[in-house]
Homo-oligomer: A and B are copies of this chain.
Amino acid sequence: MTDTLSSTEADIPLAEVLRGGRVESLHYGSVAIVDDTGRVVLSLGDTETPVYPRSTTKALQALPLVESGAADHYGLSDQELALACASHGGEPEHTAAARRMLEHTGRDETSLECGVHWPTNAAATRALAASGIEPRALHNNCSGKHAGFICTACAEHLDPTGYIAPDHPVMRRVTQTLAEMTGVPHTDANRGTDGCSIPTYAIPLRALALAFARFGTGKTLSADRSASADRLRKAVAAAPFMVSGTGGFDTLVMQELGTKAFTKIGAEGVLIASLPQSGLGIAIKCHDGALRGAEAAMASLLQCFGGTELAASPILQSLTRKELRNWNGIHVGEIRAASGLNKPR
């Protein structure tokens, strides 16, 4: 396969990990910043070779939940809509919201096809273990997204069984939505399988950034889609804890910034943002798959491209340059965004 990720001279430093005043580790990657008309505002590294966006597209995958009328049909709350866009930590608030979503349809967690894993939030895992309870599909970080797929199916009287397959009517609609938002084909040729078993389609970083520029402003979208995107963004801003949970990048950022920035992490170092006020979408791929590299870089880019308010944001400042302390609480180093990123261009 020719269009596969490879190192190019254009790969750029995203972030560095320091210890004792030295760079101990380095993260390289690519960055695309695109406005809602498709104009490329910044392109660093390779932004055309397709990459898997993984969980960064969850909010796009949740658009059919709103557009189909399922969200209204079941009267989904902001918490529930935010959870449909989430890679949550499996904390009690998260599993409760996923359960409620399923209950709206008269179903329960046995309908979830995402698989089972212990909560990604370490404290939630320990609490679960302490209570003698084995994890269930509700704890899977994708359970809200999957509950959303089930709501979408049930509201239209479709059998949700097998909804994770590319050819299920719900997944076909989700895939069609992704193709429309990103403007690039989503076919068998660029399909991989995600951790939760639904398809993930490799697309250029530039296309991913465009999708989230559009998601942020609604420009070039139909009135219905624009309203649906707006509703999801507002739900996430109203309930940011649902998107990742305690200590999560997206939750930390949106708890402070509300509707001013929408961000979403994905596995293997992918991270997106929408900046509705400036009409920009940002997509980052850390080539080694490390989220810590993408997070520091994104915080820095949000400060640069998000206007004066984001430039002064305390949470973005703390995520741009994160102190590392060891098990005795001693300062040993830091993770910081690469210096080239934090200059306005």
A22 beta carbon closer than 8 Å to chain B = yes
Q: Tell me the chain A residues, 112-151 only, with Cβ under 8 Å from chain B.
A: 113-118, 122, 125-127, 129-130, 132, 140
Q: Tell me the chain A residues, 12-34 only, with Cβ under 8 Å from chain B.
A: 13, 17, 19-28
Smallest Cβ distance from A138 to chain B, in angstroms?
13
Secondary structure type dominating chain A contacts: loop
- Whether A197 contacts B327 by the Cβ 8 Å rule is yes
Identity of the chain B residue whose Cβ is nearest the Cβ of A27 in the assembled complex = B288
- Report the stretch among A63-71, A187-195, A210-218 that lies at the interface: A187-195
A45 beta carbon closer than 8 Å to chain B = no
Copies in the complex: 2
Contact bitstring A275-309, B, C-beta under 8 A = 1, else 0: 00000000000011110010000000000000000
A330 beta carbon closer than 8 Å to chain B = yes
A109 beta carbon closer than 8 Å to chain B = no
The interface residues of chain B lying within 8 Å CB-to-CB of A118 are 122, 126
- Whether A287 contacts B25 by the Cβ 8 Å rule is yes
Which of B22, B132, B327 lies in contact with A130, CB distance below 8 A?
Answer: B132
Identity of the chain B residue whose Cβ is nearest the Cβ of A117 in the assembled complex = B327
Smallest Cβ distance from A171 to chain B, in angstroms?
15
A52 beta carbon closer than 8 Å to chain B = yes
The interface residues of chain B lying within 8 Å CB-to-CB of A190 are 20
- Whether B268 contacts A24 by the Cβ 8 Å rule is yes
A333 beta carbon closer than 8 Å to chain B = yes
Q: How far is the CA of A94 from the CA of B284 in the complex (A)?
A: 41
A110 beta carbon closer than 8 Å to chain B = no
Identity of the chain B residue whose Cβ is nearest the Cβ of A329 in the assembled complex = B115
Which of B3, B23, B328, B332 lies in contact with A6, CB distance below 8 A?
Answer: B23
Contact bitstring A159-187, B, C-beta under 8 A = 1, else 0: 00000000000000000000000000000
Q: How far is the CA of A94 from the CA of B328 in the complex (A)?
A: 21
Identity of the chain B residue whose Cβ is nearest the Cβ of A19 in the assembled complex = B192
Contacts beyond the supplied A5-B22, A25-B289: 18 A-B pairs with Cβ under 8 Å: A17-B289, A19-B52, A19-B193, A20-B191, A25-B287, A113-B328, A115-B327, A116-B327, A117-B327, A125-B126, A129-B129, A192-B332, A192-B333, A195-B326, A195-B327, A195-B332, A197-B326, A197-B330
